[in-house]
Amino acid sequence: MKTPLSPRLNKWFSEQDCDPMQICQIFENIPGISFFIKDTNHRLLHINKRFLPRLGVSSNDELYGKTDFDLFPPRLAEHFRKDDRTVIDTKQPMLNILELVFNSQGLPDWYLTNKYPLLNGDGNVVGVIGTVRPYGEENPVHNQDLKWERDDEIGRAVSYIRGNFRTNLEIANLVEVSGLNHRKLHRGFIELFGVAPMQFITRTRIEAACDDLLTTKKKLSQIAEDNGFYDQSSFTQHFRRQMKVTPLKYRKQKGFA
- Domain end marker among 135, 166, 185: 135
> What would the pLDDT profile of 229-257 be if each residue is shown by its tens digit?
999 999 999 999 988 899 999 888 876 65
Is pLDDT above 50 for 147?
no
For the chain, what is the mean pLDDT? 82
Is pLDDT above 50 for 159?
yes
Is pLDDT above 60 for 4?
no
Assess whether 128 and 38 both reside in one domain.
yes
CB atoms inside a 10 Å sphere around CB 31: 12
- Domain end marker among 74, 102, 135: 135
Please give the pLDDT value at position 142. 40
Is pLDDT above 80 for 2?
no
Q: Judge contact between 160 and 174, C-beta under 8 A.
A: yes
| Residue burial 200-237, b: 16+ Cβ < 10 Å; e: rest | bbbbbbbbbbbbbbeeeeeebeebbbbbbbeebeebbe
At 98, which CATH number? Answer: 3.30.450.20
In a domain, 142, yes or no: no
Please give the pLDDT value at position 149. 36
In a domain, 140, yes or no: no
> What would the pLDDT profile of 174-229 be if each residue is shown by its tens digit?
999 999 999 999 998 887 777 899 998 998 899 889 888 888 889 999 999 999 99
Range of the domain at 215: 149-245
Domains held by the chain: number: 2
In a domain, 90, yes or no: yes
